[in-house]
Amino acid sequence: MKSHQSSRVFEMKVFSALTIGAAAVVVIGGVQAQNEQVTLRVAGFGAAGSVAAIKIIDAQFMQKNPNIKVDFEEVAGFQYQSILNTRFVAGDAPDVVMSNGVDFAKPWLKAGYLSELTDQPWVKNVINGNRTETYLGTNKAYQFVIENAGVGLFYNKQILDDAGIAIPQNYPQFIAAMTKLKSAGKTPISIGAKIGWGALMPVATGIVSTAYRTNPNYDQRLLNGQAKFDSPEWRTVLQRVVDWSKAGFFDAKMSLGIGDFEQAAGEFIAGRAAFLVHGSWNVDALRDSKTNKFAYGFMPFPGNPAGTKSRAIIFANANFVVNAKAKQPEASRKYLNFWADNIDTYLKETGGRYSSLTTSKYREVETAEFGRALSENRASVYPVGNWDRPSFQEFFMKQMQQLLTDNNVDSVVKALDTEFNRK
Amino acid sequence: MVKTRMQRPHSPSKAVPWLHYANTAALIAVVIFFLLPIFFMILVAFKTTEEMANSPFSLPLSLNFSNFLTALQRLDFLRLITNTIVITIISSVLTVLLSSLAAYPIARVRTKWMNGVYQLFLIGLTLPFFVVLLPLYLLARDLGLLGTIPGIVFVYTAFNLPFAIFFTAGFISAIPIELEEAASIDGSTPLSTFRYIILPLLRPANATVAMFIALSVWNDLLLPLLFFNRNEQRTIMPGVYTVVGEFSTPYNELFGAALLASLPLFIFYLILQRQIIAGVSAGSVKG
Amino acid sequence: MRWYVALGFLAPALGLYILFVLYPTLRGMSYSFTDFSGVGEAQYVGLTNYQRILTDTQAVAAIRNTLVYAIIVVIAQNILGLALAVWMGNMPRVRNFARVALFTPSMLSAVVVAFIWSYLYSPLGGVLNAVLDVFGLGILKRVWLGDSSVALLAIAVVSIWMFTGQTAAIYLTNYLGISQEIRESATLEGANAWQRFFYVEFPLLAPATTICVTLTLISSLRVFDLPFLLTKGGPGNATEVLGLAIFQAAFTNQQFGYGAALAVVLTLFVIMVAVLQSSVLRKRESNL
């Protein structure tokens, strides 16, 4: 009995010693924590190719800031919005979150999930064309635009040279080129419209080089009702697609079964079409191509009248925002500043992307014409993504499919106006 | 129970051997025709990007393993496969167990409220998942289940129960009740009747259910993305699909990764298939 | 069985199901009475979202297409699955190989399947059109996924290809369980193979029929991923289905409340059809 009791006393002593010791460890640990490792959580969509580049930047960042560990979470692109929305609502989104254009970030901002970044040093270097995305339509900065994708015209220089065609600089020249290619037995242009995107691009690039060229604030005019779709400017650019189809520059019926992205671009990359109106990211595939080595170029779509200059479309393909409830607000800002300083490294790795910062020096040779338009401020943000109507692009794409089916410009512009003004 | 000797329905055309061979050949031809798209997938997995763009259907010029290697390098393949196997097996076993238990009274008790319970489960077959995501996430957060294997296993089990119960209850009602009645006269408790009489007879049904659940768990993209915020905690398919971008997807790489990722599932299926066949040829299923 | 014994058997499944399925579903569906965008605050708006469905041409097209799609898939997949099962049932030597092989497509995920088939259907060097040419059937060539008169059917074919192996496997399990004596007695009575199938075997396949028809019906009414990956509902609204409309409303269009209302409609719709269908099939089963 006695020995039992004494063993209990002993146990209690050991226990209290352990408790005090543990408490001491906790206190010391707490003091040290300030200089110790913090983990910065970053979430992004794994758009092909860019993840490798993100990991390079992250590694360099961690080397420079040994006390910050970047934990990059990849979420498959087509589930990204549903997953991140859910995390934001639940209050446990990562510190830094990738976003796309303005569609993802605007609702997040309205719901109060985003942290203001106006005082960050990179904000003053944002090129004009990217202010919409950076400021999300407010007068405070919220988004760091990692990269712009451009939409414009790819041309196969070899096919043009063989047919004795100069690179078209305006719409009459472009039509003349396609006519000549057609009569030479070449496929003038590759268009895939299985979801409608590929048919929308000639229209979007067309309107930018016409209505937006003369009035860069055309978005505003549409939004406040001064401009509408049932107007000569939209009818003109929509009619162009109908004209191309009627002239046999592409097969409208067939294009409805051709994948808008890989498949339509693949035709150009394989050297089977002279032109492609598409996104600058195809530069990756063209650059990596080993068998199809032909000279090519990427330029703003020449949808402009003779005697004027064409205009480029850019859109923020990938951005970062900072969570208002970030556990590491300081490290988050440090991280974005590091990105701003090293953006050229990223652009070199990914190819076919453009910086949003005037401090960037990086240019691809093949895409120099497009880059020149950006530096001369001949660029607009992708209009359809800039109207604060998240469902409108889907609708527009379906209307384009309708147009390819029945060539009826009149019903398309009326449907667009109705949908645009629906509340 | 219609218990018979080994049931091997033989072909009525056996009397005419050449007809039987022709019939067999025709079946094999149909099966191969079915598999053609999969051969195409394997071809693509061995191709380089331009080879695919130039001639998607031709034989690859050379066996190019780089798509498989890329997958192995990009993803922590072994860890992801291990996670997947653990989650798949626990979810399948738990679902099979709980659904067999629940299906037993559902198939045997013919009362109004039991029918109500059955209908309640059947509603689960019809629910659209996207609307549930957010409340499910909030629930898992409040229960502290986010980022844990039990959390995702519970959700997989709960969502697969309707199908499993539906399938198993149908199977149990086809088993004649006489055996159980005899057992209960012998003083067997309901639980031991279930354990020693019903459960062994359920082997093919359980194996079938397990296979269907393994399929859905293995190929699921949404829940692992939702429940785990670290790449290395997730299952294999969300890993594979990180290469799918909105605008461009290297499909040859995707197929290489997807083929590697599906291989364990295929083996799992072959194992379960033996269970199904063994159960069926033991002659315990009534028509 | 006493009620408390029965409840004991049910309790674990029922508990998990109520907590993780029914409760979140009801909570999710309650968003259908709000203007919830997917993030931020939600305001109660009564039945506005439900009223909108009636005037939404996309939703109306989706309801129609979903029904057509379900009818095609249920009929074709069950007939094909049943035929293959009977065929395999009579071919003991190749049966297991065939069963495994036919099952394989359902082990692939929809993303891979969609890519494979978009190449098979492609109007640019697609295999299907090439095959039709070889057999002199060039007149049947189509832009399969881009022609609104055949696009929905083309998607249904992909789904049937993917899941017929599963249906066949369930029928086969049932078929092999039919006792040899029953078959033999039918043959002795002078029935030929067709008569034996229709009058003896097919009625005995009632359990498998119930399972297969119910499952194909429910899954085809809820279809989402194949149309999402293959056509995104196009051309126009030709392949718009309810599952797709819910996803687009809730996430792409940031109208979660409206998406939830569509989801409620889909659920009620599926329950209604399933109840109708199962009461017919159950009657047949109990007639055995």
How many residue pairs bridge chain A and chain B with CB atoms within 8 Å of each other? 98
What 3-state class would DSSP assign to B65? coil
Q: Do B159 and C20 touch (CB under 8 A)?
A: yes
Q: Do C92 and B8 touch (CB under 8 A)?
A: yes
Cα–Cα distance between B213 and B163 in angstroms, integer? Answer: 9
Instruction: Please report the residues numbered 169 through 188 in chain B whose beta carbons come closer than 8 angstroms to any beta carbon of chain C.
Output: 170-171, 173-174
| Chain B residue with the nearest C-alpha to that of C15 | B158
pLDDT digits (tens, 9 = 90+) for B104-148: 999 998 888 998 999 899 889 888 888 898 999 999 999 999 999
Domain B67-281 has CATH 1.10.510.10: no
Identity of the residue in B54, B231, B247 whose CB atom sits nearest the CB atom of A281: B247
Band of residue C57 on the pLDDT scale cut at 50, 70, 90: confident
In CATH, the architecture of C64-240 is: Orthogonal Bundle (1.10)
- Angle A358-A360-A361 from CA coordinates, rounded to 5°: 120
The ipTM assigned to this model is: 0.88
For C89, list phi and psi in degrees, rounded to 5.
Answer: -60, -30
| Chain B residue with the nearest C-alpha to that of C165 | B34
- Chain centre to alpha carbon of residue A163: 35
* Spans of all domains in chain C: 64-240
Residue B32: how many other CB atoms lie within 10 Å: 11
Distance from CA of A80 to the nearest CA of C (A): 10
Distance from CA of C51 to the nearest CA of B (A): 19
Give every CB contact of residue B105 below 8 A, 6+ residues apart in sequence.
B114, C1, C5, C6, C9, C10
Distance from CA of C107 to the nearest CA of A (A): 20
Q: List residues of A whose CB lies inside 8 A of any C CB.
A: 81-82, 85, 88-89, 103, 107-108, 110-113, 193-196, 253-259, 263, 267, 390-391, 394, 397-398, 401-402, 404-405
Most confident of A25-29, B83-87, B168-172: B83-87
| Chain C residue with the nearest C-alpha to that of A396 | C236
pLDDT digits (tens, 9 = 90+) for C146-157: 999 999 999 999
> From its phi and psi, is residue A43 left (phi > 0), alpha (psi between -120 and 50) or beta?
beta
Distance from CA of C147 to the nearest CA of A (A): 7
Mutation for C interface: B127, B184, B271, most C CBs within 10 A: B127
Closest CA to C12 of B88, B103, B215: B103
| Chain A residue with the nearest C-alpha to that of B245 | A47
- Note whether C252 contacts A: Cβ–Cβ < 8 A: yes
What 3-state class would DSSP assign to C6? helix
For A407, list phi and psi in degrees, rounded to 5.
Answer: 55, 20
Distance from CA of A71 to the nearest CA of B (A): 8
Distance from CA of A46 to the nearest CA of B (A): 5
pLDDT digits (tens, 9 = 90+) for A159-203: 999 999 999 999 999 999 999 999 999 999 999 999 999 999 999
The residues with which A156 forms a beta bridge, in sequence order, are: A296
Mutation for A interface: B136, B138, B229, B251, most A CBs within 10 A: B229
* Stretch(es) of chain B classified as CATH 1.10.3720.10: 67-281
Cα–Cα distance between A353 and A280 in angstroms, integer? Answer: 7
Closest CA to C254 of C36, C48, C50, C54: C36
Q: Do C251 and A196 touch (CB under 8 A)?
A: no
Q: Do A48 and B133 touch (CB under 8 A)?
A: no
- Is the pLDDT at C179 greater than 90? The verdict is no
Q: Do C179 and B266 touch (CB under 8 A)?
A: no
Q: Which H/E stretch holds residue A143? A: strand A143-156
Identity of the residue in C23, C125, C207 whose CB atom sits nearest the CB atom of B170: C207
Instruction: Please report the residues numbered 243 through 282 in chain B whose beta carbons come closer than 8 angstroms to any beta carbon of chain C.
Output: 244, 251, 254-255, 258, 262, 265-266, 269-270, 273, 276-277, 280-281
- Are A364 and A148 spatial neighbours (Cβ–Cβ below 8 Å)? no
Cα–Cα distance between B89 and B264 in angstroms, integer? Answer: 12
Looking at residue C25, its pLDDT comes to: 94
Q: Do A85 and C38 touch (CB under 8 A)?
A: yes
pTM score, whole prediction:
0.87
Identity of the residue in B7, B123, B139 whose CB atom sits nearest the CB atom of C24: B139
Q: Which chains touch A (3 or more CB pairs under 8 A)?
A: B, C
Q: Do C21 and B159 touch (CB under 8 A)?
A: yes
- Note whether B156 contacts C: Cβ–Cβ < 8 A: no
Burial C55-83 (b: 16+ CB within 10 A, else e): ebebbebbbebbbebbebbbebbbebbbe
| Chain C residue with the nearest C-alpha to that of A111 | C40
- Chain centre to alpha carbon of residue B259: 17
Q: Do B136 and C20 touch (CB under 8 A)?
A: yes
Top-confidence residue, C282 or A13: C282
Distance from CA of C107 to the nearest CA of B (A): 6
Looking at residue A25, its pLDDT comes to: 46
| Mean of pLDDT values over B162-187 | 87
Q: Do B9 and C22 touch (CB under 8 A)?
A: no
- Are A302 and A171 spatial neighbours (Cβ–Cβ below 8 Å)? yes
Q: Which amino acid is at A23?
A: A
- Walk along chain A (423 residues) and give the pLDDT tens digit of each residue: 344 444 444 444 544 555 555 444 444 444 444 567 899 999 998 665 678 889 899 999 999 999 999 999 888 777 888 899 999 999 989 999 999 878 889 889 999 999 999 999 999 999 877 888 899 989 999 999 998 889 999 999 999 999 999 999 999 999 999 999 999 999 999 999 999 999 999 999 999 999 999 998 899 999 999 999 999 999 999 999 999 999 999 999 999 999 998 889 989 988 999 999 999 988 878 887 766 679 999 999 999 999 999 999 988 888 999 999 999 999 999 999 999 999 999 888 887 788 888 888 777 667 888 988 888 889 898 999 888 888 899 899 999 999 999 999 999 999 999 999 986
Identity of the residue in C123, C147, C237 whose CB atom sits nearest the CB atom of A258: C123
| Chain C residues inside the 8 Å CB shell of A193 | 146, 235
Give every CB contact of residue A232 below 8 A, 6+ residues apart in sequence.
none
Cα–Cα distance between A110 and A138 in angstroms, integer? Answer: 11
Looking at residue A47, its pLDDT comes to: 60
Mutation for A interface: B138, B225, B231, B253, most A CBs within 10 A: B225
How many residue pairs bridge chain B and chain C with CB atoms within 8 Å of each other? 264
